[in-house]
Amino acid sequence: MKIKHQLAIFNALTRLLVILVLWLMLPVLVEKVVYKHINKTLRERKQNFIEHLDREEINDFIVRNDTAETYASYSTLHNEFLQLSRLPQKTVTNKTLFITEPRVIEEEENDYRILQYQFRYENSSYLLEIGSSLSEIKELTFTIRLFILIVLVMILMVTFLMDTFYIEYLLKPFYRIIDTKIRRVNEPETFDHTPINSHSADFEELDTVLNQMMDRISELFKKEKQFIANVSHELLTPIALLKNKFENLIQNESLDDNAIDKIAGALRTLDMLKKVINNLLLISRIDNNQYEANETVDLQDLLDNLLEDLTDRIEEKNLKVGLNLQNRILFTGNKTLIHILLYNLIVNAIKYNKENGTIAIEDGFSEKQYFLSVRDSGIGMAEMQLEQIFSRFTRISSDTDGQGLGLAIAASIAHFHHISINVTSAPETGTTFTLLFPEKIN
């Protein structure tokens, strides 16, 4: 999940939580406010009633209904009532109480907020109750809750949208940095140093730090390239010199056979040294992207030439080579490198083949992907060996020549061209190397 979505969802959830708490607390709050207001009104009424109280009035109240010893008056809509009753006991609390309870007035039950007040008047105890109906208040609370709910949900939605857009806007430079500074950069040379405009200091910092990091990397890259060039010069020049010296030395007529053998041995060692260095340099150059891959390679053409060059070695083992390509493929890559890749695979197929064996070079499409395979009828490999054939200095059998760099180079070249190499092999039956080319090929 992207950070903009996470942030928007987090904001929405916290807002939702706040709204939920508010909404749950609302009835309690409203009740408190409403009760306070009602209490005040009731107190005023009571004050009014007590102030104007006299014997006559009490009698007036009580006499009308002697049996019940109570007097009550209601407003017509039953939203208010006043009730006075005589109390049997002599002592009264003289305190004002507020209670909320249901009362039935003229067969209609309603919740009332009731003020109760006990008082003595001319040796009699009385209880005064003044009530105010709560039904209207309840309706009002419900309406307020509904209204507030709608408003809150709307706020929630609007802020969620605003959040999303604003976060998106804020994060835009971030995605631009990822896209232009990281994803599209394959080599330090192609790095774009133009600063990305941003309204947040954080991204500006990120951009600067990335630029600095890239500068350091390209510096290292340059150094590595320089190092490779130096190594090749510093190591290979003396080898070339020594080789020349030995070749001149061998011309000397006075040398005995023993000396000639030794010089020949030295020359062979020098040659091996030179080739190992060249091979390692080749690998590190490929891995360093020092080759360009913009040439058109005709595989059929390349294989024809390769097989012609290798005729001697094929004839030496009396091998039968079947070159049978169904498709004329033009691949964009580095011609020299593809040549080396195929050369190494075919030489491998020759080297580890049996006398009178066969090599089959075939192609085709597997799920739209073009493949080229080289199959030999050679000594094959066990599964254990298969795993390490592409690592440097591994060779299949210990008694054969070679320093085992051929397949490591093949792997590097294939990787450079986004080609994948598959190997299948069975001991004593043979090995098949398959090159799976990337899809955009014609």
Residues that bind other proteins (CB under 8 A): 229, 232-233, 236-237, 239-240, 243-244, 247, 250-251, 257, 260-261, 263-264, 267-268, 271-272, 274-276, 278-279, 282, 309, 312-313, 316, 340, 344, 347, 401-403, 405-406, 409
Nearer of residues 350 and 361 to other proteins, judged by Cβ: 350
Tokens encoding 84: 């006075």
DSSP structure class, residue 437: -
- How many angstroms separate the CA atoms of 389 and 387, rounded? 6
Nearer of residues 86 and 243 to other proteins, judged by Cβ: 243
Largest pairwise CA distance in the chain = 162
Tokens encoding 75: 């407003």
Q: How far apart are CB 181 and other proteins at their closest, in Å?
A: 29
Would you tell me how many other CB atoms lie within 10 Å of the CB of residue 230?
10
Q: How far apart are CB 333 and other proteins at their closest, in Å?
A: 15
Nearer of residues 180 and 403 to other proteins, judged by Cβ: 403
Question: What is the per-residue DSSP string for 64-126?
Answer: TTTTTTEEEEE-TTSSEEEEEEEESSS-----EEEEEEEEEETTEEEEEEEEEEEEEETTEEE
In terms of Cα–Cα distance, which of 354, 359, 374 is closest to 435? Answer: 374
Element containing residue 108 per DSSP (H, E): strand 108-121
Q: How far apart are CB 215 and other proteins at their closest, in Å?
A: 23
**Are 115 and 167 contacting, i.e. CB atoms less than 8 angstroms apart?**
no
SS3 365: strand
**Are 325 and 342 contacting, i.e. CB atoms less than 8 angstroms apart?**
no
Nearer of residues 212 and 230 to other proteins, judged by Cβ: 230
Nearer of residues 45 and 243 to other proteins, judged by Cβ: 243
Question: What is the per-residue DSSP string for 281-319?
Answer: HHHHHHHTT-S---EEEEHHHHHHHHHHHTHHHHHHTT-
Nearer of residues 216 and 313 to other proteins, judged by Cβ: 313
In terms of Cα–Cα distance, which of 344, 337, 342 is closest to 407? Answer: 344
Q: How far apart are CB 286 and other proteins at their closest, in Å?
A: 12
Q: How far apart are CB 8 and other proteins at their closest, in Å?
A: 54
Q: How far apart are CB 354 and other proteins at their closest, in Å?
A: 17
Nearer of residues 115 and 282 to other proteins, judged by Cβ: 282
Q: How far apart are CB 239 and other proteins at their closest, in Å?
A: 8
Angle between helical axes of 335-351 and 406-416 (0-180°, round to 10)? 140
Q: How far apart are CB 206 and other proteins at their closest, in Å?
A: 36
Nearer of residues 220 and 240 to other proteins, judged by Cβ: 240
